[in-house]
Chains A and B, each alone.
Chain A
Amino acid sequence: DIVLTQSPALAVSLEQRATISCKTSQNVDNYGISYMHWYQQKPGQQPKLLIYEGSNLASGIPARFSGSGSGTDFTLTIDPVEADDIATYYCQQSKDYPTFGGGTKLELK
């Protein structure tokens, strides 16, 4: 299995930039495509797709969210952070059978 590692928590101030990292145990790129996706989950809600294939913004997601990276190192950036962005963020790979990172809880500083 491909293991995805995220920091458990990140404290950020409103209107500042948040960078959430995800490191994979194996390269998740293939033929120029990064098989890395990002989700937001708020308490009591299902996950919501934010970014697919490394850097593509999902439908209806504000441009404050962006994804970058390649190979084994990926980043989700939220700039600027708004109050509604306080949630847990998961990365997920689909190079092999899908696996998720443990999640990063975004908290207010």
Chain B
Amino acid sequence: EVQLVESGGGLVQPGRSLKLSCLASGFTFSNYGMNWIRQAPGKGLEWVASISSSSSYIYYADTVKGRFTISRDNAKNTLYLQMTSLRSEDTALYYCARHRGVAPNWFAYWGQGTLVTVSS
């Protein structure tokens, strides 16, 4: 069974940093592209970043480019999102999700999410 378990969320002050993790199991992690997708409270979905299976291709939404860094450790079956210069508008539930192929397409598997709250 495919499982994606996010962790690392919490309350953080504006301007500070936070690192999220997503532990994958139930499939060969190194064969799949991965993504971070977020959902602000009561709002819709926003794709944040994507990384290909071998980390060769990385894509970011304009809203986080230059502040967030997506990475992965295939030996540990883990996806990361390093978030810096956090803003109140980054407050959201952050999901990790799997896609097929190099570029992100559809997201067949999602984790339960980890909540990030940016507030003083």
Contact = CB atoms under 8 A, between A and B. Distances in A.
Contacts of B105: 35, 37, 52-53, 94
Interface stretch (B12-20, B24-32, B42-50, B71-79): B42-50
A51 B59 CA distance: 24
A92 B44 contact: no
Contacts of A59: 108
Interface residues of A, number: 22
Given A46-B110, A46-B112, A47-B110, A94 B103 contact: yes
A102 interface: yes
Given A46-B95, A46-B112, A100 B44 contact: yes
Interface residues of B, number: 20
A48 B62 CA distance: 25
B108 A58 contact: yes
Contact of A90 (B44, B59, B62): B44
B4 to A, nearest CB: 9
Given A46-B112, A97-B59, A52 B44 contact: no
Contact of A103 (B44, B107, B113): B44
Contact of B104 (A53, A94, A101): A94
Interface of A: 1, 35, 37, 39, 46-49, 52-53, 58-59, 90, 92, 94, 97-103
